Structure 1
Amino acid sequence: METAKQDKKVSSMNSISPAANLLIILFFMIYACICLLPVLIVLAVSFTEQRTVTLEGYSLFPSKFSLDAYQYLWRNATQILRAYGVTVVVTIVGSLAGLFMTALYAYPISRSSFSFRHFFSFFIFFTMLFNGGLVPWYLVYTNLFDLRESILALIIPGLLMNAFFVIVMRTFFTTTIHPSIIESASIDGVSELGIFFRIVLPLSLPVLGTIGLFYTLGYWNDWFNSLVFVSREPVSLQYLMYKVMRSLQFLTSVNGSSLVKGDISKLPNETARMAMAILGMGPIVLAYPFFQKYFVKGLTIGAVKG
């Protein structure tokens, strides 16, 4: 009876009033609108005439509607669709492979029965502090592995495995997967691979979803590997948009000189840049709802429980 009264008292102390709940809801609604505002401005500018943007600046409600930016990008629709396909394949394959390799590395060093866990933990931590530099990094992947002009050059260098993600996942395995569960499975005759695939991974969906989201963002937004390792094809969407933007900036800078015939001041420089941003953010924004239910729980990995 006393326990029930104490639980009721604690629940009443932890509950909030309806007025406070309403204020919290209003605060987060306003905060969500503020976060959405830049995206809406970018979308509005992409549908604005270039001359209007030059004279009036950015506006949430354009005074003159125009599809010039998207028509300009439509002229390169084949290249954009090809780059979309490359980026989607690289993101899916790279994220799944990176997540799998991260879990395979993090699980053994989280087990107290693994004799070399301290050595391999220090080995992965050492890579966060020191690296060989850009030139040795490039020479290893070009001369030793010969990844130039291949799709593997967009997956492996610098993105396939992240030391920080390994440490985060190891912490999750250590604090969440109780050793008694593993011992019980071992007594029942389950192999190490069976424990990993049938017990550990199903219990680790929060950290897998969170780190999988980070890998997805990294691969989707990457353009540096295309710049360094690929000269023609295949290139990522972000690098193609970077090339288009540089071309527009160059044409605008030499407008009126003898190098260019005709007036190119009407080229959709700013509006095309915003249109490219909308095209680039679309698929990755749609991916967030699939990770959302794991994201909050995954970010609290290693939190101290009261």
Structure 2
Amino acid sequence: MPELPEVEALAGILAERAVGREIGRVLPVAVSVLKTHDPPLTALEGRTVTAARRHGKFLDLDADGLHLVVHLARAGWLRWKDGLPEAPPRPGKGPLALRLVLAGPERSGFDLTEAGARKGLAVYCVRSPGDVPGVARLGPDPLDGSLTPEVFAGLLRGVRHRIKGVLRDQSVIPGIGNAYSDEILHAARMSPYRLASDLGEEEISTLYEAMDTTLRSAVERSRGLAAGDLKAEKRSGMRVHGRTGRPCPVCGDTVREVSFKDSSLQYCPTCQTGGKPLADRRMSRLLK
């Protein structure tokens, strides 16, 4: 799933290549991705792109005050292309969900695609990003200065939920998903099962620093990369996420995994849980 650093990089690509250009056509292919009907997508055509921004995990293309807002969900992606075909795309079983073509003979623009059978990609055409329910509920952003250490501490205080889930809650801290929450907790040397309400001041400060450093480092690594290279860069920068069975780069212990119904988390026992493996009930059932 694209998270804050990747969406930030995609917004940068759109800012560089689309701002100042006129939108020629917006062509939905998978109608199910469109979550609004007023204003229609055709209202974007003929408008000039004035900005490209990120709100949590949402992309926002501002076209003279009308916004195309995109949530890529689990398996969505944005693919920038030069020389898009003149013929409109035909609905089918492929991954293409929407195509935006900028005006001009070069026919540059982007495709929104989504792999797999489980569909979650969402596209909104709105007058304000705040009209999108997911954007309206976002907490303070980790990168824009609004999430200060004091604000962060206040968000965690009294929350009796595991810290892994709190980091992923978009109404608390937008932009962090499964992968970067694993990385942040590893950098903070903290168990994903700790309750947020049990953290002391020093632990909260350590967690805040780990979050800030992890996200900003990932954003810097992604800056200037082509959209097609962002996924590989994300994978290469991971220390525990997606590395089950491999050695922890900090201590050398084996990275472990806890599996859930539709996701999993990775962690280092030595760095995060005092050397004790976390219970994995799903794996325990499989071994019986």
Query: TM tier, shorter chain?
Result: under 0.3
Larger radius of gyration: 1
After TM superposition, the score normalised by the length of structure 2 is 0.22
After TM superposition, the score normalised by the length of structure 1 is 0.21
